Amino acid sequence: MHPIRTLPALVTLLLLLAACGGTTAPSTEGAATDGGGDEPAATSTSDGGSTGGNTDWCLNTVDEVSAALEIEVAEAAGNDAPGVGGGCLYNAADGSLAYGISVVTADGASGAFQAAKGGDGVETIGGIGDDAVLVSPGGPLAVLKGDAFISIGAVPPVPIIDDAAAYRAALEELGRAAVGRLP
């Protein structure tokens, strides 16, 4: 694999691993919103527990991920990566990892995005952040917004990954929502 294409994958992996020790993020399941519908007002999880932790990096709601990926997502866990940014992992109802977000807000954000953009087969996607690319048909979606680099993607065996057009549409929908919630 070309070393430049591995940088975004490595950054995503490191941030997602950092997020593994995180806390459960809010679910909009049965929750009232703040009126705008963009973020949940309640802080309950899908099992009714309280969150009590950092969910700044959970830029998509559990319900958004469930709807876009056409699976039942039960919870999200976010965590900081001090000095770099943070990440959030979303687990399916069966407990398996389904989706992840990583955010780099450090000086390397632009360089990480440029590396993601430089690979073969990359597709530019308009209307998300300042610049966005689908790194491959299987993801991830890489987005540059100001001084932040966001990488999002589903984890096999999430079935929608097998339908390239549907998966791209799902990532675009999730990417637009995520960019609007950057801390």
Lowest average pLDDT, out of 6-15, 108-117, 143-152, 171-180, goes to 6-15
In this predicted model, which residue has the larger pLDDT, 135 or 106? 135
- The residue-averaged pLDDT of 138-152 equals 97
Please state the domain count of the chain.
1
**At 24, phi and psi to the nearest 5?**
-70, 135
Nearest to 60 by CA among 35, 85, 87: 87
Upper half-sphere CA count for residue 30 (Cβ side, 13 Å): 6
pLDDT band at 51 (very low <50, low <70, confident <90, very high): very low
| Residue 180 backbone class (left: φ over 0; alpha: ψ -120 to 50; beta: rest) | alpha
Asked if 149 and 109 count as a contact pair (C-beta separation under 8 A), the reply is yes
The single-letter code of the amino acid at 170 is A
Non-local CB neighbours of 111 within 8 Å, separated by 6+ positions:
7
- The residue-averaged pLDDT of 39-62 equals 57
In this predicted model, which residue has the larger pLDDT, 24 or 151? 151
- The residue-averaged pLDDT of 27-48 equals 36
Asked if 141 and 132 count as a contact pair (C-beta separation under 8 A), the reply is yes
Residue 54 is predicted with a pLDDT of 77
Whether pLDDT at 9 is above 70: no
Task: Summarize pLDDT for 67-111 with one digit per residue, the tens.
Answer: 999 999 999 999 999 999 999 999 999 999 999 999 999 888 999
Identify the CATH number of the domain in which residue 156 sits: 3.40.1000
A 10 A CB-CB count for 128 gives 24
Non-local CB neighbours of 11 within 8 Å, separated by 6+ positions:
102, 104, 108, 112, 149, 151
pLDDT band at 147 (very low <50, low <70, confident <90, very high): very high
Residue 115 is predicted with a pLDDT of 94
Residue 55 is predicted with a pLDDT of 84
- Structural domain containing residue 71: 3-31+38-179
Task: Tell me the average pLDDT of the chain.
Answer: 79
Percent share of the chain, pLDDT over 70: 71
In this predicted model, which residue has the larger pLDDT, 55 or 122? 122
Whether pLDDT at 130 is above 50: yes
In this structure, what DSSP letter does residue 127 have?
A: S
